[in-house]
Structure 1
Amino acid sequence: MPYIDGFVIPVPTDQKQAFIDHATIVDAMFLELGATRIVECWGDDVPAGKLTDFARAVAATPDETVAFSWIEWPDKATRDAAFDTMRDDPRMRDTPIPFDGKRMIFGGFAPVLDLTA
């Protein structure tokens, strides 16, 4: 099974295109380094919960939209090598980040079930 990185990101709503532009650059690097699929999603139906929700998880403000993204890798070793390489890539330093990365939540996940139609 592949290895998955997941991200939840609060993005200023008026920075949607900047987010897409940023993702286009950074995601191309992930693909160069072995990612097999990347999906970037813009919050469309993200309800407030009674105890917790996506917006609270990243302390999103009313002028922000929650983005949800994932990267599929062939395995964790490929992902780890890619992240190590990207840390030193000047494109990462030179690409403006249109959101508060301190409030982004992310993690790597090993799939336990993968169903398709």
Structure 2
Amino acid sequence: MPYFDAYLIPVRPSQLPAYRDFSKKVGAVYREHGATRTTDIILDDSDQPAASFHAEEAREGLGDETRTFLDAAAGTAGETVILSWTQWPDKDARDRGLAAALSDPRVQPDPEDGVIFEGRRLVAGAFKHLGDW
């Protein structure tokens, strides 16, 4: 059963080219170590307010209490958010592959690139597959 690692990453727009280059490099290494897919998506800044994703009746009483992806990532003004995930064939393949990938020197940030994003604000988790509907 597929297994996923997901990341929510706040990034300054000026760092997007560096992030894209780094993520492509890391994705290739992850695939060498067994990942079946790596994907990055970026928040659409023209998107609707978070409350608009709730059914009309569920919106009643929400006010401004809904959280956004930028909130969840502790993003600041002028930042955007990348939602990134890596798909693995199963949890065992992920455990082996991720350990191998993270020990690979090619996934280490290049100091010459500077700070692409603040690792302390990266939100990460591992997920079991629930279904494709």
Q: 1:87 Cα shift?
A: 2.8
The verdict on how the C-alpha distance between 1:67 and 1:47 changes in structure 2, with shifts beyond 3 A counting, is farther
Which residue in 2 is equivalent to 1:114? 132
Which amino acid in 2 is paired with 1:63?
G
Q: Distance in 2 between matches of 1:14 and 1:83?
A: 29
The 5 A counterparts of 1:32-71 are: 32-44=32-44, 45=47, 47=49, 50-71=65-86
TM-score, normalised to structure 2, is 0.78
Match of 2:104 in 1: 89
1:48 and 1:111 map into 2 onto residues whose CA distance is 25
- Letter matched to residue 76 of structure 1: K
- Whole-angstrom distance in 1 between the partners of 2:108 and 2:38: 21
SS at match of 1:70: strand
Of 95, 100, 105, 1:80 maps to: 95
Structure number with larger C-alpha Rg: 2
Partner of 1:31: 31
Displacement after TM superposition at 1:47 (Å): 3.9
Moved over 6 A (4+): none
In structure 2, the CA distance between the partners of 1:5 and 1:47, relative to structure 1 (3 Å rule), is: farther
Q: Provide the C-alpha distance between the structure 1 equivalents of 2:107 and 2:90, rounded to a whole number of angstroms.
A: 23
When the two chains are superposed, the root-mean-square deviation of aligned CA atoms in Å is 1.7
For these two proteins, the number of residue pairs brought into alignment is 115
